[in-house]
Amino acid sequence: MTMLPAPITPDRWLVQLFTARTVARGGIVRRQVKDVERLVGRDNFLREVHRRGFRVVENAGHFVIFCNTDPVLLLR
């Protein structure tokens, strides 16, 4: 019999996201909006991004998180 993994908690999902190597290096990560809303909730997610001083944009069903404190410039 195959054992299924336990469902991920919102806190664990956030920990996994924000401890990723890309995040530690100040990189950029992308997550689907529907997954974020289903797993942790939009407000919780945005609160955590803000707490860390990161920037996030939403486009075409994705959140793009800039994992640094540099300004984000929207160019044409």
pLDDT in tens, 9-38: 999 999 999 999 999 999 999 999 999 999
Residue 49: pLDDT band with limits 50, 70, 90: very high
Cα–Cα distance, 23 to 28 (Å, whole number): 7
Query: Does 1 reside within a domain?
Result: no
Instruction: Report the predicted TM-score, pTM, of the whole model to 2 decimal places.
Output: 0.87
* Overall number of domains in the chain: 1
Question: What is the domain extent for residue 24?
Answer: 10-66
Cα–Cα distance, 54 to 48 (Å, whole number): 9
Longest dimension (CA), the chain: 54
Query: Does 76 reside within a domain?
Result: no
Query: Does 40 reside within a domain?
Result: yes
Query: Does 34 reside within a domain?
Result: yes
Query: Does 55 reside within a domain?
Result: yes
